[in-house]
Structure formats: structure tokens, C-alpha cells
């Protein structure tokens, strides 16, 4: 059986659905089993990556784990899971990491947190695969409010470009890696098909939503304030600001063939992602 952590989130939920559709036995881990709204035929277990004792029950009878931790807790939470998985006799951990963990020059918080998490998995001596995605296409859903309000996208680093990826493609890769042989000891840099600037993303959204949109560059400080207004911690706001600044570097424009090589179909374009998510921009 496969344990999916982060099963109620963007990537994890898509992965649970894919594994269930493949008929793979899957257990979804969440801190809120009563409110998780997962498919009825999926086994659901309580697990908090910050509470090592809660992991033993969730890991009973599990051969493979999809490990997804988030934010400043990534190093500690990945280590908790890796140790509990080794105790429980798990075979393999597939960790969702960050594309920028593969950039040797990256020294800002998110790649550092994920590298520490990867090291904890390596230290467990279990078989492993690391999925290192570039920025998610779904991050632009943060623009939905201002698109509805005044048809304007406000973002920093107008010249930055990122080879953004559809989170559903990450789930498709994870489903293959968790159900096929041959992925042990591999770290995959996962990207979308092209590197796009915030202005490019805005232009495509305008076409798909059939409304005129204006892109306005804002300062990194103003963008950080806007993040804090959403109740995000200072540490996370700093980490997101550093990630955004990294879009000015060449590395985030890297496009790899990994999604197509692993899933057998090309990586999803931003236009196709936007067409699937049109309603989320139109209605709150």
C-alpha cells in the first residue's frame, strides 16, 4: 500500500485520485480526517508530520510513501517521516522537493529546507526518489482576487521567468514513480514546457478569460507586505520573496523533458492549465 502525505493539498489530492484510478491501494494522510473530503473508497489516516507518534499507525502495512512537507518545518518533518518509515519497514520514500534544490548556487530558505529534507531521507537508508519541480502554475490563483476586482495583475520581478509546471503533471509523475520499477536513487528536475514571465502569464490569462488584463510591476517589498496581509508568517514571506527574486536567474528558465519521459505525454502548457481553471478566476 502507498501512503500519500499532503493528501488534501494541490499535488497530494491529484495524486490520490490518480493512484485510486489506477487501482493502486492508497492511504491518504491528513491532520483533519473528518474534514478531508477525500474519495469514499480511499483509506484515510490521521498523521501530523510534527508528531512522530502519529506516524507509526499511518505507516502500518505501507511499502511506499509520497512525502510532502511544507514551509520552515520541512527539515524536521521530513526527518520525522523518514525515521518513522524506517521503523515501520517501508521500502521507498518519494519526496516532493523543490526544483531549486538542484541549483548549486541557490542558498535561500526553500532550497535549503528541501536539501535538509532530502538529506534526512538519504540518512534513513531507505530507497528514495526526489521530485524537484519548478514553480507551480497554480501559484497564479493568488491573482484571482485582483483580476476580478480591477482586471489587474500586480507582481514583482517583471523580467523574471520560470518554467512553471502544472501540479497535475507532478502528480502524474509521482503516480508513475510510485507504481513502476526503475526510479530508485533518481532526482528528477520537473518543469513545464516553457519559461514564462509574469507578463506572459497575464497575457495568456487575458486570452483564456476573454477579458483585458493589465500587468503592473510592484516592488518586492510591496509584494511581501501583500503576502503578510494573507496571514503568512514572516519566515514564509521572506522565503517566497527570495523564490520570486530567483526568477531573474537563468536556472528557473531551464526546461527539462522529464515529465514526458516519465509519463509518456508532453508537459501541460500554461494555456491548457488556465483553460481547466477558468472558473476559479471568474468566481470567488
Ligand X SMILES: NC(=O)c1ccc[n+]([C@@H]2O[C@H](COP(=O)([O-])OP(=O)(O)OC[C@H]3O[C@@H](n4cnc5c(N)ncnc54)[C@H](OP(=O)(O)O)[C@@H]3O)[C@@H](O)[C@H]2O)c1
Q: Does 191 bind ligand X (CB under 6 A)?
A: no
Q: Does 173 bind ligand X (CB under 6 A)?
A: no
Q: How far is the CB of 54 from ligand X (least distance, A)?
A: 8
Binding-site size, ligand X (CB under 6 A): 27
Which residue among 3, 6, 15, 45 contacts ligand X (CB under 6 A)?
6
Which residue among 17, 43, 48, 249 contacts ligand X (CB under 6 A)?
48
Q: Does 39 bind ligand X (CB under 6 A)?
A: no
- Nearest Cα neighbor of 281 from 226, 209, 204, 214 is 209
Q: Does 263 bind ligand X (CB under 6 A)?
A: no
- Would you state the cell numbers that stand for residue 12, as one nine-digit string? 497530494
- What mask of x and - would describe binding to ligand X in positions 200 to 239, judged by CB under 6 A? ----------------------------------------
Which residue among 32, 271, 278, 282 contacts ligand X (CB under 6 A)?
32
Q: How far is the CB of 135 from ligand X (least distance, A)?
A: 4
Could you please report the per-residue DSSP string of the chain? -EEETTTTSHHHHHHHHHHHHHT--EEEEES-GGG----TTSEEEE--TT-HHHHHHHTTT-SEEEE---GGGHHHHHHHHHHHHHHHT--EEEEE--GGGG-TT--SHHHHHHHHHHHHHHHHT-EEEEEEE--BGGGGGGGHHHHHHHSEEEES-TT--B--B-HHHHHHHHHHHHHSSS-TTEEEEE--SS-B-HHHHHHHHHHHHTS--EEEE--HHHHHHHHHHTT--HHHHHHHHHHHHGGGSGGGG---SHHHHHHSSPPPPHHHHHHHTHHHHH--
Q: How far is the CB of 225 from ligand X (least distance, A)?
A: 20
Which residue among 15, 27, 30, 118 contacts ligand X (CB under 6 A)?
30
Q: Does 199 bind ligand X (CB under 6 A)?
A: no
Closer residue to ligand X in complex, CB, 76/218: 76
- 43: β partners: 27
Closer residue to ligand X in complex, CB, 150/280: 280
Q: Which of residues 111-150 bind ligand X (CB under 6 A)?
A: 133, 135-136, 139
Q: Does 49 bind ligand X (CB under 6 A)?
A: yes
Q: How far is the CB of 70 from ligand X (least distance, A)?
A: 4
Q: How far is the CB of 9 from ligand X (least distance, A)?
A: 2
Q: Does 157 bind ligand X (CB under 6 A)?
A: no
Q: Does 8 bind ligand X (CB under 6 A)?
A: yes
Q: What is the dihedral of CA 248, 198, 149, 151, to 10 degrees?
A: 140
Q: Does 96 bind ligand X (CB under 6 A)?
A: yes
- Nearest Cα neighbor of 70 from 58, 81, 78 is 78
Q: Please report, as ranges, the residues that interact with ligand X according to CB under 6 A.
A: 5-12, 30-32, 36, 47-50, 68-70, 96, 98-99, 110, 133, 135-136, 139
Amino acid at each position: 500500500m502507498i501512503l500519500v502525505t499532503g493528501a488534501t493539498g494541490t499535488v497530494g489530492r491529484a495524486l490520490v485520485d490518480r493512484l485510486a484510478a489506477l487501482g493502486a491501494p492508497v492511504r491518504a494522510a491528513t491532520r483533519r480526517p473528518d474534514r478531508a473530503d477525500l474519495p469514499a473508497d480511499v483509506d484515510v489516516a490521521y498523521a501530523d508530520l510534527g508528531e512522530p507518534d502519529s506516524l507509526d499507525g499511518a505507516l502500518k502495512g505501507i511499502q511506499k510513501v509520497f512525502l510532502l512537507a511544507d514551509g520552515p518545518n520541512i527539515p524536521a518533518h521530513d526527518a520525522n517521516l523518514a525515521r518513522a518509515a524506517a521503523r515501520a519497514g517501508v521500502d521507498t520514500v518519494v519526496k516532493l522537493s523543490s526544483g531549486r534544490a538542484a541549483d548549486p548556487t541557490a542558498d535561500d530558505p526553500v532550497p535549503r529546507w528541501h536539501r535538509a529534507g532530502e538529506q534526512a531521507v538519504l540518512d534513513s537508508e531507505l530507497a528514495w526518489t526526489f521530485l524537484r519541480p519548478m514553480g507551480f502554475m497554480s501559484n497564479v490563483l493568488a491573482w484571482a482576487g485582483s483580476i476580478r476586482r480591477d482586471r489587474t495583475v500586480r507582481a514583482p520581478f517583471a523580467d523574471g521567468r520560470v518554467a512553471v509546471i502544472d501540479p497535475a503533471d507532478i502528480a502524474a509523475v509521482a503516480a508513475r514513480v510510485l507504481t513502476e520499477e526503475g526510479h530508485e536513487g533518481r532526482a528528477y528536475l520537473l518543469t513545464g514546457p516553457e519559461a514564462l514571465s509574469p507578463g506572459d502569464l497575464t497575457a495568456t490569462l487575458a486570452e483564456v478569460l476573454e477579458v483585458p488584463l493589465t500587468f503592473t510591476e510592484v516592488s518586492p517589498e510591496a509584494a511581501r507586505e501583500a503576502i503578510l496581509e494573507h496571514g503568512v508568517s514572516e519566515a514564509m514571506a521572506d522565503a517566497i520573496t527570495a523564490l520570486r527574486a530567483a526568477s531573474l536567474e537563468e536556472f528557473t528558465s531551464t526546461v527539462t523533458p522529464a515529465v514526458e519521459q516519465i509519463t509518456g505525454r508532453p508537459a501541460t502548457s500554461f494555456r491548457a492549465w488556465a483553460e481547466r481553471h477558468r472558473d476559479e478566476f471568474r468566481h470567488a
